Structure 1
Amino acid sequence: MQHQTKQWRKLTGEYLKNYIADEVHGAILREKELGHTLKVCIGTDSQVKGSQTEFATVIVFVRKGRGGFMFLNNETTREKMSIKQRMMTEVSRSIEVAYHLSNVFSDHSVDMEVHVDINTSPLYKSNDALKEAVGYITGMGFSFKAKPEAFASSCCANKVVQ
């Protein structure tokens, strides 16, 4: 995944002008200057449409008690995947972004979580990927949330996957 600005945009559709790390750094500085305490949640969701799978990855900035905003990108693939492979691809995309931005978050003491769109109930097919996903995320040193607490992937990314 490229981390250049042509792929990342705001919810308004406006494309970011700089590299994503620079945009995140600038957003954190602006929010801290305004007195906001931030937490960042990164998540990915996907949707299969015919022979294509679209992935949406979001970086959600939560202002404690003051709402939030997000940056997002969408990518489409024609690769055929099982449900478990698709869930792990979502996790991998989120981890890639979290890892790329981890120094920015740690430099500014901003808490960050990876959110996974995987159901914790064994009644759902996505649950097959939960154990692997948790191991992958925690092995990379990140904290995580799964459904129903994973709003970045389950709600935010879900809304922008076309």
Structure 2
Amino acid sequence: METVRSWRRLNGMEIKSPIEDEIESVLAAETGDGNALKVCIGTDSQKKGKIVEFATVIVFLRKGKGGFMYILTDTSHRKMSIKERMLAEVGKSIEVAYSLCHLFTKYGVDMEVHADINTNPAFKSNDALKEAMGYITGMGFSFRAKPHAFASTSCANKIVH
């Protein structure tokens, strides 16, 4: 059983249009204003009792001028191992990246997919590192893991914790 909510901005403003339309209008406005952009997409999750809360973020960085982000939250009532949860996070990020990558290409914006997976083998999340890296790079996307995956480890993390 999945509950899906709509995209919103950090300030809580709900996005009424499809996210693709919203992102295209933002890309047109930002590039029209001369802003050099980079996009980072990441997901984090938190187990809370019998549910898992997920937050996926699209983080826009304006070179030298700050940034902004979009947030999508959803929950799962399915029991998952840590590895399954890490790969579910990656899957959610890839789904968003794949649906928007044509826009980033059209506007010449670099995109990275960030995974909340530790590169240190001492951590349980590391079990999913090879699969996640293969999944993301196999889709043709740039991959970042901890400690360089701020979209998932900092931005999305703040939403689910």
Same fold, TM-score > 0.5, yes or no: yes
1:37 counterpart residue number: 36
**3-state secondary structure, aligned to 2:57:** strand
Residue 140 (str. 1) matches residue 139 (str. 2): yes
Q: Structure 1 residue runs of 4+, over 3 Å off?
A: none
Residue 35 of structure 1 and its aligned partner are, at CA, apart by: 1.5
Cα deviation 1:64-94 (Å, max 9, x = unaligned): 1111000011001110000000000000000
- Match of 1:125? 124
How far is the alpha carbon of 1:52 from its aligned partner? Answer: 0.5
Unmatched 5+ residue regions in structure 1?
Answer: none
Q: Does 1:93 align with 2:92?
A: yes
Amino acid at match of 1:66: K
Between the two proteins, the alignment pairs up a number of residues equal to 158
Task: Give the corresponding residue for 1:73.
Answer: 72
**Distance (whole Å) between structure 2 residues aligned to residue 17 and residue 64 of structure 1:** 28
Shift of 1:30: 1.2
Partners of 2:97 and 2:103 lie apart in 1 by 10
Shift of 1:29: 1.1
Distance 1:155 1:35 in 2: 27
**CA shift for structure 1 position 19:** 0.5
Q: Distance in 2 between matches of 1:39 and 1:144?
A: 14
Give the deviation of 1:34 after TM superposition.
1.8
Q: CA deviation at 1:21?
A: 0.6
Cα distance in 2 for partners of 1:47, 1:35 equals: 38
Q: CA RMSD in A?
A: 1.1
- TM-score (normalizing by structure 2): 0.96
1:152 lines up with 2:148 in the alignment: no
Alignment partners' CA distance in 1, 2:126 and 2:34: 39
TM-score (norm 1): 0.95
Instruction: Give CA-to-partner distance per residue, 1:79-136, whole Å, 9 cap, x none.
Output: 0000000000000000000000011111111100000000000010000000000000
Which structure 2 residue ranges, 5 or more long, are not aligned?
none
Residue in 1 that maps onto 2:49: 50
Maintained 8 Å contact 2:31/2:107? no
